[in-house]
Amino acid sequence: MLKPKLLLILACLGLTACEQAQMVGPVGGGEVTVTEFRSGETVLTGLSTSDEDTLIALFGQETVDGYTSLQLLSFLGINTFNNPGFNDATWYVMAVQGGFDYDADGNLLVDQAPAQVFGTLHALVTGEQLNRGGFLVTPVTEAAYRYALDIADSTSDDALRPALDAAAGDLVDDVTADDELDYGDILAWNRILHSQQLRGDIGTLTNALAAGESESVVTAAALALFSTAPPGNEQSAEEFFAQSASDVVQSRCGTCHRVGGIGTRGTSHILQPTSNNDHIALNTEMYRALVGQRGVQYILDKSVGQRGHGGGNRLGNFPEEFAILETFLTLLENGG
Ligand code: HEC
């Protein structure tokens, strides 16, 4: 007879419907919810991913004590649906909220004190995939989920999968080794096993998710991972500016870069204050001109104190805000 621990490993190699949540390491004790992607209707709640107590209850303290770190890292953070009866063709969102990251420093050793997770990880999956299991919920699936949300209004259910297939190469390599780079590789990407197959720099997104940052910060960090704007992406640079970038530059740059401020000396980076009713439109156009004249990289370099910025380092210690500025300037560069 197979030992229980072996069974569990086999289970997560795809023999049974099960999934693992990973932030950096596995996230145990996270609350699992499944909602319908289009309607937002909740179809399942009340489950949580396996933590140390789950394992002890299943296998006994002695057995768990005997596990290697790597074994523990593959048993923690697991979710199993008992009687999955999801509608095969429907798109669902599986969310794992909160819990604890058992290897937050990513050194493949179980942390003595697991780090609390404040945000929520998502994966967009069809009912067929949910019934089958064998996927992961990670910052990579989060990025793809945000990408899908961004194009959802202009993309039918049938067109979602090809759009996600086309975007997969921005995030991962051919994880499943089936000679195709597609959405299946995003769902199969396992941080513990596939660090070499990661293409996108998911550090900023991971930090934003772990810290429970706002929706707009998480979305900006996620969308910044994609090389091309999503097909049919309707959000204009001005909308994005109004939504998040304006707050960043007003608070981080506005004290100097305003009429009469010290940042106006010999520069064309002058923000209208929020007291001006047209500040969103005027400031967006100011940045459009600045990008045209100087380029995106020049402005980003100045924001972190490079190129002899008179204002020094403003955003170097604020990766989420830097990501927002970068996304905004890139939208402008692409003519958005
Ligand atoms: C403490 C004051 C101060 C703050 C805050 C500040 N800057 Fe500056 N900035 C300056 C000064 C002074 C100059 C002119 C000297 C120079 O070119 O670096 C300048 C110049 C620039 C230029 C060159 C504009 C041109 O026409 O070539 C850019 C771009 C810039 N800053 C971006 C930023 C961004 C982005 C922020 C906010 C994230 C920011 N700065 C915040 C003081 C500041």
148-157 per-position pLDDT tens digit: 999 998 889 9
Lowest-confidence region among 127-136, 141-150, 263-272: 263-272
Tokens 């961004």 label which residue? 150
| Mean local confidence (pLDDT), 137-154 | 95
The verdict on residue 6 lying in a domain is no
Give the angle subtended at the CA of 47 by the CAs of 93 and 213, to the nearest 5°: 55
| Same domain as 168, residue 89 | yes
Lowest-confidence region among 18-27, 52-61, 301-310: 52-61
Question: Does ligand 1 have an atom closer than 6 angstroms to the CB of 252?
Answer: yes
Asked whether the predicted pLDDT for residue 100 surpasses 90, the reply is yes
Buried b (16+ CB within 10 A) or exposed e, 47-58: ebbbbbebbeee
Q: Using the mean position of ligand 1's atoms as its centre, give its distance from the Cα of residue 257 in Å.
A: 7
Asked whether the predicted pLDDT for residue 15 surpasses 60, the reply is no
The verdict on residue 231 lying in a domain is no
pLDDT of residue 202: 96
| Same domain as 138, residue 242 | no
How many C-beta atoms lie closer than 10 Å to residue 90's C-beta? 17
Provide the pLDDT confidence category of residue 266 given band limits of 50, 70 and 90. Answer: low
Distance CA 310, CA 32 (A): 48
For the chain, give the number of residues.
336
| Same domain as 215, residue 80 | yes
- 126 DSSP β-pair partners: 91
Give the count of domains, the chain: 2
Residue where a domain stops, chosen among 189, 223, 257? 223
Provide the pLDDT confidence category of residue 13 given band limits of 50, 70 and 90. Answer: very low
| Same domain as 243, residue 199 | no
| Same domain as 255, residue 215 | no
Take residue 166 and report the two structure tokens written for it.
């086309």
Computed from CA positions of residues 275, 280, 285, 288, in that sequence, does the dihedral angle turn out positive or negative?
A: positive
Asked whether the predicted pLDDT for residue 184 surpasses 50, the reply is yes
| Same domain as 156, residue 41 | yes
The verdict on residue 212 lying in a domain is yes
Question: Does ligand 1 have an atom closer than 6 angstroms to the CB of 71?
Answer: no
Tokens 């967009």 label which residue? 124
Give me the sheet containing 120-126, strands edge to edge: 42-48, 31-36, 91-97, 120-126
| Same domain as 267, residue 198 | no
Distance CA 20, CA 22 (A): 6
Mean pLDDT of the chain: 90
Collect all residues with Cβ–Cβ distance below 8 Å to 302 and sequence separation of at least 6: 309, 311
The verdict on residue 294 lying in a domain is yes
Ligand 1 atom nearest residue 321's Cα: 38
pLDDT of residue 80: 86
Provide the pLDDT confidence category of residue 265 given band limits of 50, 70 and 90. Answer: low
Task: Report the residue among 271, 296, 302, 314 best suited for mutation to probe ligand 1: largest number of ligand atoms under 8 A from its CB.
Answer: 302
In this structure, which amino acid lies at residue 295? G
pLDDT of residue 96: 98
The verdict on residue 210 lying in a domain is yes
Domain interval for residue 57: 15-223
Q: What pTM, to 2 d.p., does this model score?
A: 0.62
Task: Report the residue among 253, 264, 286, 288 best suited for mutation to probe ligand 1: largest number of ligand atoms under 8 A from its CB.
Answer: 253
Q: Using the mean position of ligand 1's atoms as its centre, give its distance from the Cα of residue 205 in Å.
A: 26
Q: Using the mean position of ligand 1's atoms as its centre, give its distance from the Cα of residue 280 in Å.
A: 19
Collect all residues with Cβ–Cβ distance below 8 Å to 65 and sequence separation of at least 6: none
Collect all residues with Cβ–Cβ distance below 8 Å to 243 and sequence separation of at least 6: 216
Q: Answer for the pair 52, 76: CB distance below 8 angstroms, yes or no.
A: yes
CA dihedral 13, 136, 170, 206 (to 10 degrees): -140
pLDDT of residue 169: 94
